Each structure stands twice: as C-alpha cells, then as structure tokens.
C-alpha cells in the first residue's frame, strides 16, 4: 500500500495543503512570494504531493517534470523562509492526526525537501 492510500488518498492531501495555505495566507514573510489567488497554487502543491506519495500522476500530466529547485529559483528562500514554510507545514501535518509512523515519514520528507529548496544565503 502506498502512503497516498494509507493516509486516505486525495481528501487528506487536500486538507493538508488547505491548512498549510491558511498559514501562508497570514504570514508576512511568505504571503508576498505567492500569487494573489492562492487556489491554483494550493492545487499544484496538492497534486505534486499526491503524485510523490504514489497517487495519480496528474501533477506531471499538467506541469511536466517537477524540477522543484528550478521552479523555486525565482524566489529568495533563505533559512527564515524555509523555517516559516516548515512551521505552517508542521501545523498542517499535526492537524491530520495520522498514525505516528506515517506522520513521521511524511514529515521527514517535507523537512528534507524544504532544506533542499534553500537557494539564498543569509545576510552576513
Ligand atoms: C511553488 C515557495 C518549499 C513544492 C511555490 C511557489 C512559491 C513557493 C512562492 C509559487 C506558488 C505557485 O504559484 O505555485 C516555497 C518556499 C519554500 C518552499 C518559501 C520553503 C522552503 C517547497 C517544498 C516543496 C514545494 C519543500 C515540496 C515538498 C512546491 C510545488 C510548487 C511550489 C509543487 C508548484 C510548482 C509548479 O508546478 O509550478 N513554492 N516553497 N515547495 N512549491 Fe514551494
């Protein structure tokens, strides 16, 4: 069974990402980086995570290869942005009430991916 199935499929990923974007919407550091309409951005993130965890490949059918570092190159992502992103994601994961093992697999990936996305050094 894939993690996608284990967590309950698409509705769970939708809940995760919707909750994450509630955090982003109220974040003074992150909000300006995102488009005015967060709906399509939430959809891209949901489809990407579903695909990553073994669900349908709708993300790549619509967007092509993820190449996430490249897609994040236009945004300045330093430690502060990474930590803010992870804080909202942590809250969102917690709200899902998943089995501890599943939650930690999901979280370990998100944390690693967020560190990988950093593309800017802090000011000296
Ligand atoms: C897109 C910020 C980390 C997955 C975006 C966008 C922003 C952003 C501003 C554009 C929104 C849109 O129009 O789609 C950040 C910041 C991060 C971060 C500040 C901090 C580390 C991550 C991580 C993942 C991820 C760790 C995956 C686990 C995505 C995806 C898209 C996206 C799938 C849409 C790509 C596309 O198809 O165009 N991100 N991101 N991001 N991000 Fe992130």
pLDDT for 92-105, tens place per residue? Answer: 999 999 999 999 99
Q: What is the domain partition of the chain in residue ranges? A: 3-116
Ligand 1 centroid – CA 72 distance (Å): 6
pLDDT for 33-84, tens place per residue? Answer: 999 999 999 999 999 999 999 999 999 999 999 999 999 999 999 999 999 9
Rounded Cα distance between 107 and 100, Å, is 10
Q: Is the CB of 45 under 6 A from ligand 1?
A: yes
* CATH number at 3-116: 1.10.490.10
Q: How far apart are the first and last CA of the chain?
A: 47
Take atom 40 of ligand 1 and give the residue whose Cα is closest.
72
Name the one residue in this structure whose structure tokens are 């967590």: 7
Is the separation of the CB atoms in 123 and 27 below 8 Å?
no
Rounded Cα distance between 85 and 31, Å, is 10
Q: Is the CB of 50 under 6 A from ligand 1?
A: no
Q: Say if residue 102 is exposed, middle or buried (CB neighbours under 10 Å; 0-12, 13-18, 19+).
A: middle
Take atom 34 of ligand 1 and give the residue whose Cα is closest.
44
Name the one residue in this structure whose structure tokens are 């284990």: 6
Site to substitute for ligand 1 among 16, 35, 42, 44, most atoms within 8 A of C-beta: 44
pLDDT band, residue 122 (cuts 50/70/90): confident
Is the separation of the CB atoms in 39 and 45 below 8 Å?
no
Query: Which ligand 1 atom minimizes the distance to the CA of 63?
Result: 37
């Amino acid at each position: 069974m894939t993690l996608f199935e284990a967590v309950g499929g698409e509705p769970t990923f939708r809940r995760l990402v919707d909750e994450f974007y509630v955090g982003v919407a109220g974040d003074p550091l992150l909000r300006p980086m995102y488009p005015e309409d967060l709906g399509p951005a939430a959809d891209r993130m949901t489809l990407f995570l579903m695909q990553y965890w073994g669900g349908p490949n709708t993300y790549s059918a619509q967007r092509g290869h993820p190449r996430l570092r490249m897609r994040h190159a236009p945004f300045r992502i330093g430690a502060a942005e990474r930590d803010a992103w992870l804080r909202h994601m942590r809250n969102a994961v917690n709200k899902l009430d998943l089995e501890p093992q599943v939650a930690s697999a999901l979280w370990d990936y998100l944390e690693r991916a967020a560190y990988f996305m950093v593309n800017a050094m802090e000011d000296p």
